[in-house]
A and B are shown apart, each in its own frame.
Chain A
Amino acid sequence: MKIIDTANHAVAYAAKLARVEVVSAYPITPQTQIIEEISRLIDEGIMDCEYIPVESEHSAQAALIGASATGVRVFSATSSHGLAYMHELLHWAAAVRLPIVMVNVNRAMGPGWNIWCDHQDAIAARDTGWIQLYCASHQECVDTLIQAFRIAEDHRVIMPVMVNYDAFVLSHTYMKVEFPEQETVDLFLPELDPMWKLDLDNPMTHGSVIYPDDYEEVRFSMQQAHGNARKVISEAAAEYRVIVGNYHGDLTEEFMTEDAEHIIVAMGSIASEAKMAVKQLREEGLACGVVRIRSYRPFPVEELQRVMRGKRTLVVIDRDCSFGLEGALFSDVKAASYGHSDARAYNLITGLGGRDITYGLLAGAVRAAVEGKAETVRWPALRLNEHHLASKRGVEAAWQGRQKRSAS
């Protein structure tokens, strides 16, 4: 079946194809369309699934943890402040090892109140133990969501998976999506076979107190699961290619990297825009390529080491900022390629809060880096506009008013 629709609606239909059994979610722009569509499908009897309405994202994740522990396939979707609000339970879901799959539509954190795209929300949830996958097209959102259940439920992994895609750029944009047949999906994604589940005949508890003597091993096991997930993600992508026919890369997608001297690394839709920049730069005689990170956690360490060997320049585009240091992805890429590459490394922090980034701007910034004219960390789209100046003038006036009052 082929449709022209938003990524949000496409993902709702993909959740149906994955035979999700319990959904619990709280609406938040730009994710709301997903759960609206799922609740419509359930209401009209098209989708056989329990929908648990909740009063907050914290409860949504809690309900998923409860449902998942009974051994059923669960799904949710959230964004930005919703993800932040359930942060405590993100740790919970990962540490108790539940194969929950959740979509996070990447949206900037407020204030300034902003519904548009950047990756700050997911980056802030980076160290919770969740596997984080990033998509760059509508088709990839659908295919990745179906694969995410396979990855999460694999007995070598058993970890929650967060499927990320960009607010509005993908979530509300109409593009073509093709869906595999239900039988094809069933072939790729068999019924959930949980390693453990709550069972009246075989009582157990989970998530209990663990003393210092026992705790570290539990965390090491999570780290091991992420190590295994590297293999499982690649296997899932390969098998999906055979059964369904679509392929978007393993942990990374590489674009014109083989003969490249300069590598751009990015995640999400801006990596798609970066491909256009590469085409333009190649026409201008610069041998550039793109590595798009599909799996941010586990991080594609070996892939980056291989690609970066012998390269001259590394430009990492971050749609986030780890305040006080640099872009989070930049740090990670440098750490992964340490000792394997002598490339000069540059960071572009841009596209925050939905700032529209054209491939022309990216190409210019990459060219400056290649020519050694850029600072290590640059914010190439910055501008001081009338709104900033009005705010600055107001703050200045308020400050002077306070000074005057305290003097008199």
Chain B
Amino acid sequence: MVEIRFHSLGGQGAVTLIRMLAIAGDKIGKEVQAFPFFGAERRGAPVKSFARFDDARIDVRSQIYIPDFLVIMSPTLMDLGLSEGLKPDTVILVNEPLEDAKAKYKDINHTLLSVDATSIALELNLEVEGMPLVNIPVFGAISYATDIVPLEVVTEVIRETMGKKNMEVSMEAARRGFTSVLEVNGKAPARRRKPLPEVAR
């Protein structure tokens, strides 16, 4: 099983993201499970979401405490994300420009990848009421970083689930997300990560 935990802010579109990720996982024949931890939904409040992929039926129903991949959709949530549990080989993907990430996360021992999804969203005018929709570029970046779902499947899911208005630009955002993943604490550009085998916790 591969488990991903997401930390995002209300309004960034994480719930849409995990839904599309689950649909993508199903398309490549995986059993999937995706859920947010719903609280009082407030724009700007931290939201946790979870996604599981497995070849066998998924019986686990609890949240993910030691994920294979940790996705931080706002740099302000890095400390929170790190404090909620990791394994030694968890790969972290943060939505932050490379230089900022390099300056800030010198003491993180995990493989740390960056994608500047906010800039991608702003460049493409992917906004909802002033808030950049970072979920789509992050979707592309996850495809690259985790290698669970290929980019073709990502764009296919976007084509099927997004409204006509934003479809083309969203597919472009996902492509840019895919090609913009950089390794923070290693030598850029990032290597692709094969999904890890069976998780023990």
Q: Do chains A and B touch in the complex (CB under 8 A)?
A: yes
Q: Which A residues contact B (CB, under 8 angstroms)?
A: 2, 4, 30, 115-116, 166, 168-169, 172-176, 269-270, 272-273, 275-276, 356-360
Give Cα distance in the complex from A315 to B89, angstroms.
35
Which residues does chain A contribute within 8 Å of B62, judged by CB atoms? 273, 356-359
> Would you call A272 and B19 a contact (CB within 8 A)?
no
> Would you call A169 and B38 a contact (CB within 8 A)?
no
Q: A172-B38, A174-B18 are in contact. Are A360 and B31 (CB under 8 A)?
A: no
Task: State how many angstroms separate the Cβ of B18 from the closest Cβ of chain A.
Answer: 7
Which residues does chain B contribute within 8 Å of A360, judged by CB atoms? 201
Segment of B53-61, B71-79, B125-133 in the binding face: B53-61
Contact with B58, one of A172, A175, A357, A358 (Cβ below 8 angstroms): A175
> Would you call B19 and A4 a contact (CB within 8 A)?
yes
> Would you call B61 and A172 a contact (CB within 8 A)?
no
Give Cα distance in the complex from A272 to B35, angstroms.
16
Q: A4-B26, A168-B38, A173-B33 are in contact. Are A356 and B63 (CB under 8 A)?
A: yes
> Would you call A4 and B23 a contact (CB within 8 A)?
yes
1/0 contact string of B174-201 vs chain A (CB within 8 Å): 0000000000000000000000000001
Which residues does chain B contribute within 8 Å of A166, judged by CB atoms? 61
Q: Supply 24 A–B pairs (Cβ within 8 Å), ascending by A.
A: A4-B19, A4-B26, A4-B32, A30-B38, A168-B35, A168-B37, A168-B38, A169-B61, A172-B36, A172-B38, A173-B33, A174-B23, A174-B33, A174-B34, A175-B33, A176-B31, A269-B61, A272-B60, A272-B61, A273-B61, A275-B59, A276-B59, A276-B60, A360-B201
Give the most central of B19, B32, B36, B61: most A CB within 10 Å.
B61
Query: Which residue of B has the minimal Cβ distance to A113?
Result: B40
> Would you call A175 and B61 a contact (CB within 8 A)?
no
Which residues does chain B contribute within 8 Å of A276, judged by CB atoms? 59-60
Task: State how many angstroms separate the Cβ of B168 from the closest Cβ of chain A.
Answer: 23
> Would you call B22 and A270 a contact (CB within 8 A)?
no
Which residues does chain A contribute within 8 Å of B31, judged by CB atoms? 176
* Count, A-B residue pairs, CB within 8 A: 58
Q: A4-B19, A4-B23, A168-B38 are in contact. Are A174 and B65 (CB under 8 A)?
A: no
Task: State how many angstroms separate the Cβ of B129 from the closest Cβ of chain A.
Answer: 22
Query: Which residue of B has the minimal Cβ distance to A270?
Result: B61
> Would you call A174 and B19 a contact (CB within 8 A)?
yes
Give Cα distance in the complex from A276 to B201, angstroms.
11
Give Cα distance in the complex from A58 to B41, angstroms.
28
Shortest Cβ-Cβ A-B pairs, 10 listed: A173-B35, A174-B34, A358-B62, A174-B22, A269-B61, A4-B23, A272-B59, A273-B61, A356-B63, A275-B59
Query: Which residue of B has the minimal Cβ distance to A279?
Result: B59
> Would you call A4 and B60 a contact (CB within 8 A)?
no
Give Cα distance in the complex from A220 to B79, angstroms.
62
Query: Which residue of A has the minimal Cβ distance to B60?
Result: A276
Give Cα distance in the complex from A270 to B23, angstroms.
25
Which residues does chain B contribute within 8 Å of A358, judged by CB atoms? 62-63, 65
Q: A169-B35, A269-B61 are in contact. List 16 more A-B contacts (CB 8 A).
A: A2-B26, A166-B61, A174-B18, A174-B19, A174-B32, A174-B35, A175-B32, A175-B34, A175-B58, A272-B60, A273-B59, A273-B60, A273-B62, A356-B63, A357-B62, A358-B63
Give Cα distance in the complex from A29 to B59, angstroms.
24
Which residues does chain A contribute within 8 Å of B36, judged by CB atoms? 172
Query: Which residue of B has the minimal Cβ distance to A357?
Result: B62
Query: Which residue of B has the minimal Cβ distance to A116?
Result: B38
Give Cα distance in the complex from A174 to B20, angstroms.
10
Which residues does chain B contribute within 8 Å of A275, judged by CB atoms? 59
Which residues does chain B contribute within 8 Å of A174, judged by CB atoms? 18-19, 22-23, 32-35
Give Cα distance in the complex from A250 to B26, angstroms.
29
Query: Which residue of B has the minimal Cβ distance to A173?
Result: B35
Give Cα distance in the complex from A273 to B201, angstroms.
14
Give the most central of A169, A275, A357, A358: most B CB within 10 Å.
A358
Which residues does chain A contribute within 8 Å of B18, judged by CB atoms? 174
Query: Which residue of A has the minimal Cβ distance to B24?
Result: A4
Which residues does chain A contribute within 8 Å of B19, judged by CB atoms? 4, 174
